[in-house]
Amino acid sequence: MKSTMPIDGKEKASRQKKRHPNWDPIHGKNAPPGTKPVISPDMPRPASKDDKLEPAPRETSSTFDLLSGGSCTIRGMMGSDEQMLSDPALMREGRIIDALLAAFIVDLDGSDNVTEKDVAHLFTVDRIWILIKQYQLSGPKIGNLPPGDGIEIVTRCTSKTCREKNESITSIERDLISTLRPFPENGDEVGASYDPEKREFTKQLSTGREITWGYSRGINERNSQGVQNPSMLDMLALRLRKIDGKPGAHAGMLQKFQRWELAEMRKLYEQTRAGVDTRITIFCKRCPQVYDVLLEAQMAFFFPGAR
């Protein structure tokens, strides 16, 4: 038998805190069991599992600063641009990247008529920076990473006795842009004279031999594409400009260098490195092998989703 004793204020407040989940806020009473509570029009609507979040619209263009100075505006890549990457004529002539950049760059430091010649004279670090910005603009959503940030890297273990297929996801923001280094403002760090206009350094090696080095450009990349299986000397020659004041330095000249001179050069190159370090370290899931791959050499960087 329910009590008919009057309810004091404290007990009433206590009971209000323990309201039934079907409490009707409008009529001040419990709704019949099995019914949904009545919601006032002034109350916020509770979230429902049926609610669908509409994805934010993707940008179709991007404007940013080049690492060497100046600005660049690009549009997002399309199917016609991917088709260009498979053009046999461009492949034979070593013009694929030049043609691709010229196609989607809509403004380069104030010029809206960008040609292959223009992009061929850009520094390699700027060209890679533009390609990274392009992926961020038009790349897909991979895993839990934001759209345009994740890249699926699929490689084979470099151990001849393993050759395991390794799959991993690399974040552009976390793993690559975090390595960004600006161009040096002078040559003080390496004790070299510096030409800021050409971005070139000049220094005597311990043997007294003088070298001048700078940064590779697109035109250097194109010339090196004709070299089958480039050696370490070929890679050193990409940034070499002069030896003892004489221009036209090439890998053949480096064959006469002492080994410790080459080691000095590599150290100087690393100390004056600029741009993003595109090396991605892979840990084999089957054996202890650890190896590096280059972002720009990965199919997924140019053809997202391809295997």
Rounded Cα–Cα distance for residues 237 and 300 (Å):
29
Q: 3-class SS at 171?
A: strand
Instruction: Give this prediction's pTM.
Output: 0.78
Spatial neighbors of 164 by CB under 8 A, at least 6 apart, are 156, 157, 284, 285, 286, 287
For 177-228, what is each residue's pLDDT tens digit? 999 999 999 999 999 999 999 999 999 999 999 999 999 999 888 776 655 6
Average pLDDT of the segment spanning 169-181: 94
Residue 119 has pLDDT above 90, yes or no: yes
Predicted local confidence at residue 249, as pLDDT: 85
Residue 226 and residue 241: Cα distance in Å, rounded?
Answer: 19
Give the residue with greater pLDDT, 12 vs 179.
179
Query: By percentage, how much of the chain surpasses pLDDT 90?
Result: 66
pLDDT of 163 > 90? The answer is: yes
Find the distance separating the first CA and the last CA of the chain, reported in whole Å: 75
Tell me the pLDDT band of 59, cut-offs 50, 70 and 90: confident
pLDDT of residue 33: 59
**What's the average model confidence in pLDDT over 1-13?**
50
How high does pLDDT run on average in the chain? 85
Residue 285 confidence (pLDDT) above 90: yes
Spatial contact of 245 and 191, defined as CB atoms under 8 Å apart: no
